[in-house]
Structure 1
Amino acid sequence: MTSIDTPRAGAAEAGAPPAVRLDRISKTYGNSTAVDDLCLDIAPGEFFSLLGPSGCGKTTSLRMIGGFTDPSAGTVLLSGEDVTALPPDKRNVNTVFQSYALFDHLSVADNVAFGLKRKGVARAEIRTRVAAMLERVQLGGLGDRKPGTLSGGQRQRVALARALVNRPQVLLLDEPLAALDLKLRRRMQVELKQIQREVGITFVFVTHDQDEALTMSDRVAVMNEGRVEQCGTPEDVYEHPASRFVASFMGTSNLVPGTYRDGQVVLDCGPALPVGPRDGVADGAAVSLSVRPEKIWLSDFEPGMALVRGVVRETVYSGPTTTYLIELAPDVTVSVLEQNTDRSRMEDRWCGGESVEIGWRPEHCLVLE
């Protein structure tokens, strides 16, 4: 649980209130806690992602920002204004849902104009704003089409345009790319980030996809069991995970059990490896040594590297890369990722059953209690 004295995850710049502030927000359903005493600041103009597995509380947190779910405790503030008791239509936010929730009987232009008409905006201004927004999301000329005639990516853009045309203070996105195929999803990740930079609106994005969060976000909050385990830039969260959960959830990380002693980790499977002094890790503590697969070398070792012998148990070719599963001990297997460059040849790859030596730089490993 986050204590009252714990600094907020990501404070806004001095002098400017956060676009979103969650102040000790909790949500309980009977004996079940979905969000637990969450404190979070999201800066104006930031692309901020709530990332975590199903049931971690990320969507519930998003719904409390939007007003669709009432918190059991705590306060929601938008640009310094307490909106905890306000309904969704009284908050200057818009939401893009996973289902898009488009009106199939209306044209694309009428879908985008829907919110403006409800606000009583003048017709001439509606036409101007809708046309400009359709151009921005690369749907110019498709205003007369019905949503049912569009591709998945185009429908996603319509939903985005409908939300952005209202010029919200904050745009909430609840896994809006989940229904797209992999190739289109990757393209839309880049386009969505470009659109966010152009409009300058704060985006709060919910996803369970680590690659998606790393690709688009200015900062990421990794959630687990209703709490934020770590909040930081994509690079910080990936390269310097603060817990075993973050290390294992953010991509692939090898977690090898051992004991920390005097600047070394004595692995349970045998060897003692140099890791250097580690602040906050007590001598004799049970730890896990965390090393990313792409940080491990299979040849051309440098002086000072930590070296371990193992046996190749599986070789997985996947186009640009080859992954080796290497057994260090009967219950300890690590994965090693190598790029398939022009110099890589099929006959040079390691095969199952071969004995190999692997190594990594001490600065590329983390010691997690």
Structure 2
Amino acid sequence: MTTTTTTAALAATDTASAVRLESISKSYGDSFAVRDLTLDIAPGEFFSLLGPSGCGKTTSLRMIGGFTDPTDGTILLGGEDVTALPPNKRNVNTVFQSYALFDHLSVADNVAFGLKRAGVGRTEIRERVAGMLERVQLGSLADRKPHTLSGGQRQRVALARALVNRPQVLLLDEPLAALDLKLRRQMQVELKQIQREIGITFVFVTHDQDEALTMSDRVAVMNEGRVEQCGTPEDVYERPASRFVASFMGTSNLVPGTYRAGEVVVEGGPALPVGPRAGVSDGSRVSLSVRPEKIWLSDLEPGMTRVNGVVRETVYSGPTTTYLIELAPGITLSVLEQNTDRSRMEDRWSGGESVEIGWRPEHCLVLD
């Protein structure tokens, strides 16, 4: 597992981690949902667990919240071992994908629910609820019922209800999944802004790579119950540690070949110069990884890796155009170009045209 220190994570060197998982596993018979997971999440960090369905991210979140008991390992919150504690004894709150609001209660009463159960005084409840509703831009809707609200407004009510109790850690299980694309992007920005203002540690589960890249201080990419890579969004996108991370984090061209003397030799295709690669021995089977937006179709610069190909398909999608370039039978690269004011329809490449493409050596990875 690759880790990278961030500004938020530096706090963990001086104080106890907000969340620490020590060799956590969860098995069901012979099948493991999570296997030997160790993570440190710093106070005030926005930390995302990212991966496909069934990778173990929600199970990990549920174990932090106390809703699922680990088979092995230890869970610490603020340095305290809470492995055996039930959910109501842990200083965490959870926002679920379904929001789980009480439709018979007003927005204000939904937000106040946890405070009332905790025995907080009426005056303090009124002040804290009003303040939190203003923070999530729902102050004018305090008397409304949840079923009269939009999806984004209901999401804010659920968030306010969780935050008003001032938890040490807030767990979020795909809370934006039910929103349409435009509203989801808006809520990504608002949720990150609220987290920064309040300073509470967020542990966020998502299968959406864009969400994780947009919102997180660090991302743990999970696959089959394990963390394949943990680091900043830039790390996991620009420097994926494995073929799985490269393919899961956005779109990546993965070209299989054999590494020999500073080149990746593609079977039935060209030899692509990549230079010396530490830890990669001659004769190794590898995958060459290069992102579509890193490949140039024109105005190639000196020192670039250059290769000839044939345009097989052109896909226009408004802001960008994607070209599928065949290098050899069965070997096709995706190339993404921005549609700027200078790129006119008549300037685009058409199917069947021969082209020369290129990329800078530092934008090319060689993965085992």
Structure-2 residue corresponding to 1:70: 69
Q: Larger deviation: 291-300 or 347-356? A: 347-356
Change (3 A) 1:269 1:195: farther
Structure-2 residue corresponding to 1:125: 124
Q: Is the 8 A contact 1:312 1:325 kept in 2?
A: yes
Rounded to whole Å, the distance in 2 between the matches of 1:198 and 1:11 is 19
Percent same amino acid at aligned positions? 85
Structure-2 residue corresponding to 1:155: 154
- Which residue identity lines up with residue 355 of structure 1 in the other structure? S
Aligned with 1:173: secondary structure? strand
- Which residue identity lines up with residue 263 of structure 2 in the other structure? Q
- Which residue identity lines up with residue 36 of structure 1 in the other structure? R
Structure-2 residue corresponding to 1:15: 14
Structure-2 residue corresponding to 1:198: 197
Question: For 1:242-271, what per-residue CA distance to the aligned partner results, in whole angstroms no more than 9, with x for missing partners?
Answer: 000000000000000111122222222422
Structure-2 residue corresponding to 1:277: 276
| TM-score, length of structure 1 as denominator length | 0.97
What is the correspondence of 1:267-346 to structure 2 with a 5 Å cutoff? 267-346=266-345
Q: Is the 8 A contact 1:269 1:328 kept in 2?
A: no
What is the correspondence of 1:1-369 to structure 2 with a 5 Å cutoff? 13-369=12-368
Aligned with 1:323: secondary structure? strand
Aligned-pair CA distance for 1:8 = 10
| TM-score, length of structure 2 as denominator length | 0.97
- Which residue identity lines up with residue 63 of structure 2 in the other structure? M
RMSD value over aligned CA atoms? 1.4
Q: Is the 8 A contact 2:52 2:207 kept in 1?
A: yes
Aligned with 2:123: secondary structure? helix
Aligned with 1:212: secondary structure? helix
- Which residue identity lines up with residue 103 of structure 1 in the other structure? F
Aligned with 1:141: secondary structure? helix
Rounded to whole Å, the distance in 2 between the matches of 1:269 and 1:249 is 27
Question: For 1:283-314, what per-residue CA distance to the aligned partner results, in whole angstroms no more than 9, with x for missing partners?
Answer: 21111100000000001111111111111111
Aligned with 2:141: secondary structure? coil
Rounded to whole Å, the distance in 2 between the matches of 1:336 and 1:138 is 41
Change (3 A) 1:7 1:306: closer
Rounded to whole Å, the distance in 1 between the matches of 2:268 and 2:35 is 38
Q: Is the 8 A contact 2:222 2:228 kept in 1?
A: yes
Q: Is the 8 A contact 1:12 1:41 kept in 2?
A: no
Question: For 1:304-325, what per-residue CA distance to the aligned partner results, in whole angstroms no more than 9, with x for missing partners?
Answer: 1111111111111111100011
Rounded to whole Å, the distance in 2 between the matches of 1:102 and 1:68 is 19
Aligned with 1:343: secondary structure? coil
Rounded to whole Å, the distance in 2 between the matches of 1:215 and 1:269 is 39
Aligned-pair CA distance for 1:56 = 0.1
- Which residue identity lines up with residue 110 of structure 1 in the other structure? D
State the aligned residue count: 365
Aligned-pair CA distance for 1:104 = 0.3
Rounded to whole Å, the distance in 2 between the matches of 1:114 and 1:52 is 33
Rounded to whole Å, the distance in 2 between the matches of 1:161 and 1:175 is 16
Q: Is the 8 A contact 1:11 1:41 kept in 2?
A: no
- Which residue identity lines up with residue 222 of structure 2 in the other structure? M
Q: Is the 8 A contact 1:260 1:285 kept in 2?
A: yes
Question: For 1:43-102, what per-residue CA distance to the aligned partner results, in whole angstroms no more than 9, with x for missing partners?
Answer: 000000000000000000000000000000000000100000000000000000000000
Rounded to whole Å, the distance in 2 between the matches of 1:116 and 1:350 is 62
Rounded to whole Å, the distance in 1 between the matches of 2:169 and 2:313 is 47
Rounded to whole Å, the distance in 2 between the matches of 1:245 and 1:254 is 12
- Which residue identity lines up with residue 345 of structure 1 in the other structure? R
Rounded to whole Å, the distance in 2 between the matches of 1:54 and 1:260 is 33
Aligned with 2:98: secondary structure? coil
Rounded to whole Å, the distance in 1 between the matches of 2:152 and 2:313 is 37
- Which residue identity lines up with residue 146 of structure 1 in the other structure? K
Aligned with 2:70: secondary structure? coil
- Which residue identity lines up with residue 210 of structure 2 in the other structure? D
Q: Is the 8 A contact 1:8 1:39 kept in 2?
A: no
Change (3 A) 1:8 1:235: closer
Q: Is the 8 A contact 1:8 1:40 kept in 2?
A: no
Gaps of at least 5 residues in structure 2 are none
Rounded to whole Å, the distance in 1 between the matches of 2:205 and 2:38 is 17
Question: For 1:323-368, what per-residue CA distance to the aligned partner results, in whole angstroms no more than 9, with x for missing partners?
Answer: 0111112211110000000001001111111111111011100000
Rounded to whole Å, the distance in 2 between the matches of 1:73 and 1:90 is 20
Rounded to whole Å, the distance in 2 between the matches of 1:233 and 1:7 is 8
Q: Is the 8 A contact 1:12 1:42 kept in 2?
A: no
Change (3 A) 1:112 1:58: same
